[in-house]
Amino acid sequence: MTNELDHGDFHPSVESIRTRLAATAPWDNPEGATRPSAVSVLLNMMEQRDRQAAEHAFRVAELSTRVAVEVGMNPVGIARLRLAALLHDVGKLSVPEEVLLKKEPLSEEEWTRIKFHPEYGFQMIASSVHPEVAEAVLKHCERIDGSGYPNAVPGDEIPLNSKVLLVADVFDAMVSPKPYRPAMSVQEAMEQIRAGAGTTFSQQVVDGLRQVIGRRKAA
């Protein structure tokens, strides 16, 4: 990706990003999903700040797409979900890097900053993407039992695309190495996700992930 921005500030404010996006081209996606140039700006920023995080976003987008097919989402919904997956962690651009990469336990203030990254992301992109995309980003860390963040939304108020995004996000995080732990095996990650079905995760979506993993093993 090309360098479109001056990245002297590696955790820009929500307002500065929103202002940058406002200057991009009008919507021209046939599904009304987004302003393509706005997405390019954000993906460039994510990649130049943390390439691993950008790669995670692309993997989550791919896995979300596969799971969405299994749970019966329509093509337009899948296109919007894929975009939301690419942008799901964009709010972390407003969280200091030293907080995101900290190996020691986080302070309450630091954890609060991280918990609000879906809200930051929503504020950044809401005027540049379809409302379904923005809502998926806002609610991608909410849980079925209402214990998620940033707003503790109950399961019946969480859209299906956010439920898919949560499972794909968590699964990819589990099977990827972190500075503070090695990667889990696919089997270990699936066991943990299955244990959270019906509480943390949608049972329907967990079943969809199992189908995707099963197909990969059979291939």
Question: Which of 192, 110, 195, 198 lies closest to 146 in space, CA to CA?
Answer: 198
Residue 53 to residue 49: CA distance in whole angstroms: 9
pLDDT given at position 36:
56
- What integer pLDDT is reported at residue 37 of this predicted model? 67
Distance CA 109, CA 51 (A): 26
CA dihedral over 141, 91, 115, 62, signed as positive or negative: positive
**What sign has the CA pseudo-torsion 16, 112, 47, 123?**
negative
Which residues lie below 8 Å from residue 19, measured CB to CB, with a gap of 6+? Answer: none
Please tell me the distance from the alpha carbon of residue 55 to that of residue 196, in angstroms, as a whole number.
Answer: 25
pLDDT at position 44 is: 82
**Residue 145 carries which side chain, given as an amino acid letter?**
D
- CB atoms inside a 10 Å sphere around CB 121: 26
Torsion of CA 58, 61, 66, 67, to 10 degrees: 130
Structure tokens that stand for 154 in this block: 């109950």
At residue 153, the pLDDT reads 96
Q: What integer pLDDT is reported at residue 6 of this predicted model?
A: 33
- Verdict on whether the full-model pTM lies above 0.85: no
Structural domains of the chain in order of their starting residue, each with its CATH number: 14-218 (1.10.3210.10)
**Average pLDDT per 10 consecutive residues for the chain, totaling 219 residues:** 33 48 42 59 82 88 95 94 93 88 86 94 90 97 97 97 98 87 92 97 98 82
Which pLDDT score is estimated for 8? Answer: 33
The CA distance from 195 to 190, in Å, is 8
